[in-house]
Amino acid sequence: MCGRFTNEMTWADLHALYKLSDELYPVARSNMQPRYNIAPTQVVQFVHLDKAKNRELNKGRWWLVPFWAQEVPKATMFNARIETIDTSPAFREPFKNRRCLIPADAYIEWTKNVDDGGKDPWLLYLPEHRGFSFAGLWAHNDNLGVTSCTIITAPAVEHIAHIHGRMPVILEENAYDAWLTGDAQGDDAKALLLDNQLDSELQFHRIGRAVNNSRYEGSDVKKPVVNPL
């Protein structure tokens, strides 16, 4: 699962990761702000291919709204399970034709504290806290005027399964083009994701419970808890 994530990537970081054009994104270049507690339904950045097959930076609601929907779905749409993305009515069309990459530098999961019953948040990140991309899907609904996206999840790798049984797919940079183009379909596309994920590299530590409030945006979110309960 991925229910929250953080993104302190600068324009220079995005430019280096996605090879974006400075000339095409002057506003993005000047208005990049760090975000420490991104929650479902909030607006996030994502990268997809435009009609000319160039990488395009876009923004949308993190909670997929299918192109055919008559209203914003109440069902959970911020994650798409890899097992069913090719059969789910909400996800099968974007899985074929509208794939994206969602930039981040960490994500947050929770475990239940056996002493007080509270939710203990964990920060999961790559070595050196380097930026990365979740594999995702996106959609545009003309009727509602909504652009949106979702993060693909898979069963957790062994060393983080004690935190949560599922994890977002974090894709290797050398697989970006193969994912975005859509040349691989069906089971081949799923294998592409599973064979090129970086999740086995994830590191983690406990962080403070202030992040449990989705409105909390303090820059101290990533700090380890010195004496966890």
Say which residues have a Cβ less than 8 Å from residue 159's Cβ, sequence separation at least 6: 200, 202
Residue 28 binned pLDDT confidence (cut-offs 50, 70, 90): low
Q: Across-strand partners of 99?
A: 137
Look at residue 59 in the predicted model and tell me its pLDDT.
95
Look at residue 30 in the predicted model and tell me its pLDDT.
64
Report CA Rg, the chain: 17
Active site residue: 56, 100, 109, 149, which one? Answer: 109
Q: In this structure, what token pair is assigned to residue 121?
A: 């948040």
Q: Across-strand partners of 65?
A: none
Give the DSSP H/E element, type plus range, for residue 101.
strand 99-104
Known catalytic residue at 109: yes
Q: What digits encode the pLDDT tens for the residues 43-74?
A: 999 999 999 999 999 999 999 999 999 999 99
Check whether 226 has a pLDDT greater than 80: no
CA 182 to CA 226: how far, in whole Å?
45
Give the DSSP H/E element, type plus range, for residue 106.
strand 106-112
Which domains are assigned to the chain?
4-107+131-203 (3.90.1680.10)
Known catalytic residue at 100: no
Check whether 83 has a pLDDT greater than 90: yes
Look at residue 125 in the predicted model and tell me its pLDDT.
98
Contact, 170 vs 98, CB < 8 A? no
User: For all residues of the chain together, what is the average pLDDT?
Assistant: 94
pTM of this prediction?
Answer: 0.95
pLDDT mean over 8-36? 83
Q: What digits encode the pLDDT tens for the residues 197-225?
A: 999 999 999 999 999 999 999 999 999 99
Sheet with 4-7, edge to edge strand ranges: 35-38, 4-7, 106-112, 119-125, 203-206
Check whether 228 has a pLDDT greater than 60: no
